[in-house]
Amino acid sequence: MGGRRGEKRRISWLWLPVVLAVSAGATTASARDAKAVRIAVAANFTEPIKEIAVPFETSTGTKLVLSFGATGQLYAQITQGAPFEILIAADKKTPAKAITDGHAVAGTTFTYAIGKLVLFSRTAGLVTGEATLKDAKFAKIAIANPATAPYGAAAIEVMQKAGVYEALQGKIVQGQSIAQTFQFVDTGNAEVGFVALSQVAFVKDGSRWVVPGNLHAPIEQDAVLLNPGEKNEAARAFLAFLKGPEGKAVIAKFGYGTGQ
């Protein structure tokens, strides 16, 4: 029995980031309510989903309990039994894997957004385009962890195509998610960094280069209904809202391409 209790304690620690990451106004009590939906959200989509949540919660009375992180980190929590009902990922691969591995409901995936990568700096004039990478007039460049964050993998692809990846390796600092990566740049701990366009869509200062889509694989972002949400009609309703006209309008507002 002692071994089982120890295992339960270990799993509860794995869930701790989920509890700490719930959105403002959500509580663990509301997470257990029948009119709540627990959603794992890729960090790049933090601000858009907060905006999308408002009209959905108002019109339905459903509380959205939001947890944010790198897609790979969130999926690890799902495989450990975290009770998410929806995964809003930063790629296509992870939702597909969730179905293959038996964690999600077949036939529920769809592309809700197409992400755009940006090389950004708080310093005006520092980022002028691809030449910024080749000139390398900076001490640190931030990217998200490519093993868990699709935007990080795209950043490496861009540097490789520009022929500068090897030269810049000593200057790269990695955030565990695209949110932490933006913090590095926003606070000046890295002069430049590859972030999501959604994170700087309304930032007026600094300098940026919206990376052309032909320099990296498309960042197609899919959502999927997870097994714990299969019988929750509110979860299905939110997925419909996300791909409906109100959801798409917010998604486009933050600089994403819209999916199907």
Provide the pLDDT for residue 37. 98
> What b/e readout covers 60-77, taking b as 16+ CB neighbours within 10 angstroms?
eebbbbbbbbbbbbbbeb
Q: So what's the pLDDT on residue 258?
A: 86
Burial class (CB in 10 A: 0-12, 13-18, 19+), 144: buried
Maximum pairwise Cα distance, the chain: 63
Residue with tokens 């949540």: 53
Residuewise pLDDT in 10s, the chain (260 residues): 444 444 443 433 344 344 334 443 333 333 344 489 999 999 999 999 999 999 999 999 999 999 999 999 999 999 999 999 999 999 999 999 999 999 999 999 999 999 999 999 999 999 999 999 999 999 999 999 999 999 999 999 999 999 999 999 999 999 999 999 999 999 999 999 999 999 999 999 999 999 999 999 999 999 999 999 999 999 999 999 999 999 999 999 999 998 65
Amino acid at position 102, single letter: G
Residue 152 structure tokens: 């990080």
Q: 36 - beta bridge partners?
A: 63
Question: Helix, strand, or coil here: 187?
Answer: coil
Query: Do 2-114+219-258 and 117-210 have matching folds?
Result: yes
Task: Kindly state the DSSP code that residue 126 receives in the 8-state scheme.
Answer: T
d(CA 215, CA 158): 5
Judge contact between 228 and 84, C-beta under 8 A. yes
Query: Can you give the residue ranges of every domain in the chain?
Result: 2-114+219-258, 117-210
Which tokens in the block code for residue 249?
């309008």
**With contact defined as beta carbons under 8 Å apart, do 223 and 230 qualify?**
no
* The predicted structure's pLDDT at residue 22: 41
Q: What is the DSSP string of 134-148?
A: HH--SS-EEEE-TTT
| Residues 61, 35: Cα–Cα separation, whole Å | 7
Query: Would you tell me which CATH number, out of the four given (3.40.50.10950, 3.40.190.10, 3.30.930.10, 3.40.50.300), belongs to the domain 117-210?
Result: 3.40.190.10
For the chain, helix, strand, coil in percent to 5 are 45, 20, 30
How far apart CA 59 and CA 39 sit, in angstroms, is 18
User: CA-CA distance, 102 to 124, in Å (whole number)?
Assistant: 48
CATH of domain 2-114+219-258: 3.40.190.10
Three-state helix/strand/coil letters over 56-106: HHHHHCCEEEEEEECHHHHHHHHHCCCCCCEEECCCCHHHHHHHHCCCECC
